[in-house]
Amino acid sequence: MGKVWLYFLVCGAAAQAADVCNPAALTGPYAFQLSGMTNISGTPQPTVSLGRIVFDGSGKLSGTSSVTFSGLLLGNPVTGSYEAKPDCSLSWKLQDDSGAFQNFSGKLSEDARRAQFSQTDKGGTRGILEKTSDSCSATDLPKTFNFAVSGSTKAMQPNEVAHTVSAKGTVETAEFQVDSDCSVRFSLTLPPPDVQTITMRGFLVNGGKEILAFQTNPGAMVAARLVAEPK
């Protein structure tokens, strides 16, 4: 009898540990960032993508998606469809204005405010999806962020040299430019040994406590994540 009771206890604990989400909670605008190596073009290359999509609560989405690939920055409006399930699994597809599709799947947090996901097309990369606000202004910015950047650059001119980028630091937000769609434009000055100033674009997420971003300078495939310093 004791073994039977133990069996029910174990099974009950496993059931309680299962992830449970409300699919209807996935609605409104989210920003996403993907980075890593991709071989979609046939040859492995670094890439970074950044975008903002709006889930309509009925299985449709729309927004924008930009990618830095082979040193070129490409951006398109996107539309698509999605499916969120009570077990917190999430899948969606995006179609750009060329007619091409991209497919993604991942797992939502139980509060439906973020997800870890992968592009499921052959050679796809991994990313993060986080809730953003309907609108933002400069007043939503904390005064200081800690940042981490990583990636690589490609020589776009004969006198340029390709190199990897990996740095951490702190940045003041006084000169950050915030648009109403919660996109943010700013510059980062990297610490030694890779001292340089790079131009970034990103989105405020997590109630303004984080920024998902990428470098927009020609030749760059560099991702950044900024987290507000604790008050």
118 shares a domain with 29: yes
Global pTM reads 0.88
One-letter amino acid of 74: L
Domain membership of residue 10 (yes or no) is: no
- 163: domain range? 138-228
In sequence order, which ranges of the chain are alpha helices (DSSP H)?
Answer: 2-17
Domain membership of residue 40 (yes or no) is: yes
Domain membership of residue 5 (yes or no) is: no
pLDDT of 17: 57
**What is the sign, positive or negative, of the torsion defined by CA atoms of 103, 166, 145, 186?**
negative
Indicate which CATH number applies to the domain containing 32: 2.40.128
31 shares a domain with 87: yes
Which mean pLDDT values do the consecutive 10-residue runs of the chain (231 residues) have? 51 60 97 86 82 97 88 85 97 91 96 96 91 95 96 83 89 96 95 87 96 93 94 71
159 shares a domain with 69: no
pLDDT of 41: 61
Q: Which of 131, 153, 168 is the C-terminal boundary of a domain?
A: 131
| CA atoms in the 13 A half-sphere facing the CB of 59 | 2
143 shares a domain with 90: no
CA 78/CA 88 separation, integer angstroms: 24
pLDDT of 3: 54
Residue 92 DSSP code: E
Q: Which of 131, 152, 185 is the C-terminal boundary of a domain?
A: 131
pLDDT of 42: 66
Domain membership of residue 167 (yes or no) is: yes
